[in-house]
Amino acid sequence: MQNLWAPWRIEYIMGKRESYCIFCPEGDGQSDEERLILHRGRLCMIMMNKFPYTNGHLLVAPWRHVARLEELQEDEMLELMQLVRLCTLVLKRVMRPDGFNVGLNLGAVAGAGVEDHLHFHVVPRWQGDTNFIAVFADVRSIPEHFKQTYSKLLPHFKKESAHEDV
53 has pLDDT over 60: yes
Q: Where are the domains of the chain?
A: 10-163
Angle between helices 74-95 and 146-163 (to 10 degrees): 120
Question: Residues 84-140: pLDDT tens digits?
Answer: 999 999 999 999 999 999 999 888 888 878 888 899 999 999 987 765 445 445 556
Task: Kindly name the residue from 39, 57, 119, 156 that is annotated as catalytic.
Answer: 119
pLDDT given for residue 115 in this prediction: 80
Per DSSP bridges, beta strands 37-40 and 44-48 are antiparallel
10-163 folds as: HIT family, subunit A (3.30.428)
DSSP state of 130: -
Alpha-carbon Rg for the chain in angstroms? 16
pLDDT given for residue 160 in this prediction: 74
165 has pLDDT over 80: no
Considering the entire predicted model, what is its pTM? 0.75
**Cα–Cα distance measured from residue 40 to residue 71, given in angstroms and rounded to the nearest whole number:** 21
Q: Is residue 119 annotated as a catalytic residue, yes or no?
A: yes
- Report the chain's terminal Cα–Cα distance, integer Å: 48
Contact present, 94 and 84 (Cβ < 8 Å): no
| Percent over 90 (pLDDT), the chain | 43
Q: Which of 53, 47, 15, 16 is nearest to 30 (CA)?
A: 47
